[in-house]
Structure formats: structure tokens, C-alpha cells
Amino acid sequence: MNIPLLLLTIIFAIWLRYEIAKSNEQQKRSFQYFLQREREANATRRKDISNLNYITVDLKRLPLKDSEDDTVNSYRDTIVSLANCKIVNLTGLTNTDLKYRYGAANLELLSEYDSNFTKLVSFLHKWGERLYHNGKKSDAVLVLEYAVSCGSDVTKTYRLLAKIYKEKNTLDQIDYLIDLIPSTTILRKDALIQELKQIKVS
């Protein structure tokens, strides 16, 4: 081994040790911050949650008639059952965030309400998709549009709805969907917007 190569090896080893130490210190600080915030969150008193943006399932906007497809009926029945539940979209908030904002005593309730939201938008998509594949395009649009009006974060709902709009040649409706996306809790918003733009011109 010549001297320059040995020197480079030593420099690299020193740099690598420094980077590992720096990373470990950052992780330690992050963990300490998390513990401190968790302690503060656990000490937060119960707050009023009656004014949250609750979602009330409006069954009048949905196609509730019986279908020959039992799967369609089961999806519909799931949505009907949610009409009596409290539903809130808390996507993106951790348990610590929820305790910090609304008090630790409300965590269980809020987790339930958020779970109801996830169930709502998931089954609305399944219902709409099944109707579409069964040739019930108009009913599918009603269900999928309702999901979007609830603030759905299911990207497949937007893709399928855009596809139907394309098939119906109502391209302005795709533009409307695109305009809605930035205000949702969808991950990778820019990628979905590009997908919908591609559906429009394809």
C-alpha cells in the first residue's frame, strides 16, 4: 500500500467515525425531544372536542337500493352502519399530537373517530369500484364523488373517478379533482396530480 492510499484510508475512517458519531448524537437528541413532548402530551388536560370537523354520512346522496351483487350490498351496509358513528379525519396526526392538542383522556375516542374515517373512505372506494366494474357507472360516480366530498385520502378513488370522467368526456371534472388534491391529506399530492393530468390527455 503506497502512502497516498494509506492517507486516504485514514482520512475516510476518521470521516466515517465522525459521521456515525454525529448521527448517533442527532438520534439521541430526537429521542430526548420525543420523550419530552410525550411527557407534555400525557400531562395535557382533556379539551373540548365537540367543535371538531365531524363528518356526518349523508345517506340521501348515495345509491342505497338493493343490488343483485351481495358484495355491493355488504359495502353499502357498512357505510349505512357508519351513519350512526362519529367520524373525524385526523390523518397525519400521531397519538402524541392528538394528546398534545386535545388531552390524553380523549385519545381513545379520537382514535376511534379517525378509524371510522379510514373505514368510511376505504369502503366508499370499494363500493364505487365494484359498482363501476358491474357497469353501474352513474351509481359509481355518486359514491366516489361522495368519498371525495368527505376529504378522502384514498388515491385510487381520484384515479378511478378521473377515469370515469374521461370515459364520459367530462374533462372539466378532472380539473376540479386536480384543484381539490392540494387541500387533502393525500401523500405524494404532486404525483397524483400528474397522474390525473395524464388521464385527461391520454
pLDDT tens-digit profile, the chain (202 residues): 455 666 677 777 777 777 776 676 677 666 676 667 667 767 788 899 999 999 999 999 999 999 999 999 999 999 999 999 999 999 989 999 999 899 999 999 999 999 999 999 999 999 999 999 999 999 999 999 999 999 999 999 999 999 999 999 999 999 999 999 999 999 899 999 999 999 999 8
Q: What CATH number does the domain located at 48-201 have?
A: 1.25.40
Contact 102, 110 (CB under 8 A): yes
Specify burial of residue 79 (Cβ count, 10 A radius: 0-12, 13-18, 19+): buried
User: What is the residue extent of each domain of the chain?
Assistant: 1-43, 48-201
